[in-house]
């Protein structure tokens, strides 16, 4: 399928839907991290544009927004932008957030010591306050203090979140930046609504986890799925050796390479959700339009050859 009709706006429902907890959402969502400007370069985005992007996303059918209280710059906060742009929230809008890391705000994504289980309530309540809600739809335990997975038991932290759920502060629990053993540990304590890990066409260490979550009916929500090869998208990221293959598939469909990366991710399974982030209206429409792309078996084989499964 080629997306070349600029007269018809894209719609998020084109990628299909998934039941996240007790809520039906479109598989194309929105990640709020980029709204403020990227934290490692500390250059804030225009506030009015960020608000316009959020409102346009909802107009296009996006009803799943991913955020965190630690998405901020000195003059911008993702949660505040969301509440300003979208409150009062539509009944079908699901807002997922993350707790665990504690940013000191001094150096990009650098985190202060990781939160103890008894500190998670303060973080949950801070997200509630910033978003202007009485409870949170989905709270992910974002494990570790960096971008790479870290060892350790998640049991006490997941247990603390179940207590907060039972107290009515949140509806569903997810985990982020975890391995299969940590997911199993969480599943033994509570139903897990989603796993949110770094994953994409050229970063496929979690292929087995994508399969595992699908088998258990758990949403898999990759972050930085379009990051490799996009300057400034991910700190330290480098372009894959055969980026020309992605570009060739994109040219055949009449779309941007980032849209092909996003479409490939969605093709990994009906339970795979997308939360591409942007502070640009044109890129927003491209991201949503990628949900309508249908890659052929030949396309998928060509793309898989760029970075074979781990």
Is 43 a domain residue?
yes
pLDDT score of 106: 56
Is 5 a domain residue?
no
Report the number of distinct structural domains present in the chain: 1
pLDDT tens-place string over residues 20-65: 999 999 999 999 999 998 766 667 889 999 999 999 999 999 999 9
Which tokens hold the place of 61?
């059918």
Is 288 a domain residue?
yes
pLDDT tens-place string over residues 187-211: 999 999 999 999 999 889 999 999 9
Distance, in Å, from the CA atom of 226 to the CA atom of 233, rounded to the nearest integer, reads 8
Phi (first) and psi of residue 112, to 5 degrees = -75, 180
Instruction: Report H helices in 101-236.
Output: 120-131, 155-166, 180-187, 207-215
Domain with 172 in it: what CATH number? 3.20.20.100
pLDDT tens-place string over residues 209-260: 999 999 999 999 999 887 644 444 555 555 555 678 999 999 999 999 999 9
Count how many residues are written for the chain: 310
Tokens 């505040």 sit on residue = 80
| Bond prior to 219 in cis (omega within 30° of 0) | no
160 pLDDT higher than 70: yes
Q: Which of 71, 87, 89, 114 is catalytic?
A: 71
pLDDT score of 147: 76
pLDDT score of 42: 60
**Structural domain boundaries, residue 64:** 12-306
20 C-beta neighbours (distance < 10 Å), count: 25
Contact 304, 240 (CB under 8 A): no
Single pTM value for the model: 0.92
Query: Per DSSP, what are the bridge partners of residue 19?
Result: 24
Q: Give 20-84 as a DSSP string.
A: ETTEEEESB-EE-GGGG--TTTT-PPPHHHHHHHHHHHHHTT--EEE--TT-EETTEEHHHHHHH
**pLDDT (mean) for 153-177:** 98
Which tokens hold the place of 72?
């901020």
Is 96 a domain residue?
yes
User: Interior CA angle at 259 toward 178 and 288, to 5°?
Assistant: 85
Is 4 a domain residue?
no
pLDDT tens-place string over residues 91-150: 999 999 999 998 765 555 556 678 999 999 999 999 999 999 999 999 999 998 877 899
Distance, in Å, from the CA atom of 289 to the CA atom of 208, rounded to the nearest integer, reads 28
Q: Give 220-240 as a DSSP string.
A: E--BSTT-TTSTTTSTT----
Q: How far is CA 207 from CA 73, 77, 199, 214, 307, in A?
A: 33, 33, 8, 11, 12
Is 3 a domain residue?
no
Let me know if 71 is a catalytic residue: yes
Contact 9, 285 (CB under 8 A): yes
Distance, in Å, from the CA atom of 157 to the CA atom of 161, rounded to the nearest integer, reads 6
């Amino acid at each position: 399928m080629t997306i070349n009709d600029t007269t018809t706006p894209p719609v998020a429902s084109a990628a299909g839907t998934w039941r996240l907890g007790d809520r039906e959402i479109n598989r194309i969502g929105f990640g709020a991290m980029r709204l403020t400007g990227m934290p490692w370069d500390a250059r804030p985005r225009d506030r009015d544009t960020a608000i316009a992007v959020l409102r346009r996303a909802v107009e296009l059918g996006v009803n799943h927004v991913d955020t965190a209280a630690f998405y901020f710059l000195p003059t911008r906060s993702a949660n505040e932008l969301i509440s300003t742009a979208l409150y009062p929230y539509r009944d079908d809008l699901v807002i997922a957030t993350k707790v665990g890391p504690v940013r000191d705000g001094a150096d990009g994504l650098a985190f202060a010591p990781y939160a103890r289980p008894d500190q998670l309530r303060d973080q949950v309540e801070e997200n509630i306050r910033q978003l202007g809600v009485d409870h949170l739809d989905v709270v992910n335990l974002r494990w570790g203090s960096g971008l790479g997975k870290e060892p350790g038991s998640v049991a006490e932290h997941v247990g603390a979140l179940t207590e907060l759920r039972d107290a009515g502060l949140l509806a569903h629990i997810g985990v982020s930046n975890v391995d299969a053993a940590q997911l199993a540990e969480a599943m033994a304590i509570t139903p897990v609504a989603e796993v949110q890990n770094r994953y994409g066409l050229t970063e496929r260490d979690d292929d087995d986890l994508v399969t595992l979550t699908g088998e258990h009916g758990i949403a898999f929500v990759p972050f930085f799925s379009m990051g490799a090869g996009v300057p400034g998208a991910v700190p330290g990221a480098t372009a894959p050796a055969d980026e020309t293959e992605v570009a060739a598939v994109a040219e055949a469909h009449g779309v941007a390479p980032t849209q092909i990366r996003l479409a490939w991710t969605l093709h990994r399974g009906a339970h795979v959700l997308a939360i591409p982030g942007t502070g640009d209206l044109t890129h927003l429409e491209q991201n949503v339009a990628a949900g309508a792309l249908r890659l052929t078996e030949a396309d998928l084989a060509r793309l898989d050859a760029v970075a074979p499964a781990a």
